[in-house]
Structure 1
Amino acid sequence: MLGRIKHEKGLFDESIVHYEEVLRRTEPCSITNEKPRNSIKHVLYALCYFGLGATYEINGNTKRAFESYTKALHMFEEAHDGIIDDSPFSPGSTYIYKGHCLIGLGNFFLIEQNYEQADEYYRKALSLFDTYLPVGHPDQSRARQKIAKITQTYRCKPIMALEDYKDCL
């Protein structure tokens, strides 16, 4: 997707334009008459909303990031209900993207100083990463670091946090 390429190049405003254009130009499932939750296209829309969330988060537009991550999360959950988790994506990929949405939402709650909610989202993401990714994957470490930071900084339990940090290695 062009939006993702622009995002990776640091061209965030252009990234947003491309993601929004994809969402605006194509009606969900109109060509195939598939039920939305049973459609690969549905997952592609969810990926666009996820990309928008990540881009808005980097731009500091937390409200729009929250809205985009929430929309993507619901769409990935609908894809699970429709049993869409195979080709062209690797097995479990929608669950992994769901985990990334949860990380983004956790970041939002951390910014809002709602540490309990942030911790809950990070733990849900870690659970998905532990289930669908190989042991030692960087996404698992990233989630554990976020949990450890909350434990250390906001719960004032550095010894417990140290255990989470050790698990990152």
Structure 2
Amino acid sequence: MSLTTTAARRSALALRRAAASGAAARRFASSQAHDDHHHDDHGHGHEDTNVYPREGFSAPIWRNFVIITILGVGVANFLPDNWREDNFILRGWRMHGYMDPVVWGERNKRHLEQTADEARLRLISEGAWRPIKKQWRYQGYLDEHHGSPNCIPVGSQVVAKHY
């Protein structure tokens, strides 16, 4: 066996090994996701071990709500008629954010005046027109007819009066 034949066999063997390992490495990502051993990695197949209470109106919060409502209505029936005026805690809580109606009237009046001023200014600015600009095709017209008498050529006008 010659040296070239041995080298050719070794290179062919190396190419075969590279092709075999390259084919395994060149798998598509979508085909890898379809393997059986990949399905359990996402957590979709596991059961939920948490135990949740049964939902419905028999839950403790609804029971407590009904009991508190019945107690509140029962207590309200036995209270005297003037309990709101005599209860300083309830009165203080109710008057906490209270403001005199006169103050609200003044604020509303001032707000109305400011709104009217803003509307008036907006009407003026939205209804404004740009000044009309007269464009002359012949620019020398102004110099000859409305300009200085010194710009009028001799003999073009008999009487040149400027008042």
Q: TM-score range by the shorter chain?
A: under 0.3
Q: TM-score, normalised by structure 2?
A: 0.17
Q: TM-score, normalised by structure 1?
A: 0.16
Which structure ranks higher in relative contact order (CA pairs < 8 Å, sequence separation ≥ 6)?
1
| Higher Rg | 2
Write 1 or 2 for the structure with the bigger share of helix.
1
